[in-house]
Amino acid sequence: MLDLLQGLKKGVVMYSIITIIMGIILILFPDTTSLIVCYGIAGVILICGIMDMIRYFSNDFSYRFGYDLLTGFLLCAVGIFMILRSDIVIMMIPFVIGMFIVVEGILNIVRSFQLRQWGFERWLYDFVLSVLLLILGMIIVVNPFDAALVSVMMIGICLVYDGLLNLLILHRSSQFVKQIRD
């Protein structure tokens, strides 16, 4: 168990730092970040569609599939739609990220119960903070505040909170490991 906790520590720290940085960027630049993400994803989808269409019309039959023309056309249509109607796509982003935050909240609740099973006395504190994260994620999913930019900023706040909460739980787990060793 001790080796497992030590091995997970580096991954949790890196994940938490990345989550906090992403959250800060979303808080400071919500509109720009939303457009960049939307255009980036649209570009990748459009390139995949073009590649499928090129493969369909190529002379190399070994890599050609009958559905390449259809998938290429559909991917190109989706990519173009995302570029032309980025406003609609941006409105969907808070829902997807809100679902991610809900899942993180649930996972942190499970982790707090693991701390309880291990006999850690302050597990309830981590549990309450995890429930708060779950509630924040559900608020984003249910009501994205009727404005994508405000939602993106709220997502940024939740991501910062998630990263800090993960670091706090990691710190508490490390304290518990030290208690076990002593």
Chain centroid, CA 83 distance in Å: 22
Which two three-digit tokens encode residue 168?
């706090």
Q: How many domains does the chain have?
A: 1
Burial class (CB in 10 A: 0-12, 13-18, 19+), 80: middle
Please report, as a single letter, which amino acid is at residue 131.
Answer: V
Residue with tokens 């520590």: 9
Residues spanned by the domain of 147: 2-181
Count of CB atoms situated within 10 Å of the CB of 166: 22
| Predicted TM-score of the model (pTM) | 0.56
User: Can you give the length of the chain in residues?
Assistant: 182
Distances (CA, A) of 33 to 50, 68, 96: 26, 32, 15
Sequence-ordered list of residues with C-beta below 8 angstroms from that of 47, at least 6 positions apart, any chain: 79
**pLDDT by residue for the chain (182 residues), tens digit each?**
566 656 677 788 888 999 999 999 989 998 888 889 889 999 999 999 999 888 888 776 656 667 788 899 999 999 999 999 998 888 787 788 889 899 999 999 999 999 899 888 889 999 999 999 999 889 888 876 555 677 778 889 999 999 999 898 888 877 877 777 77
Residue with tokens 């707090």: 112
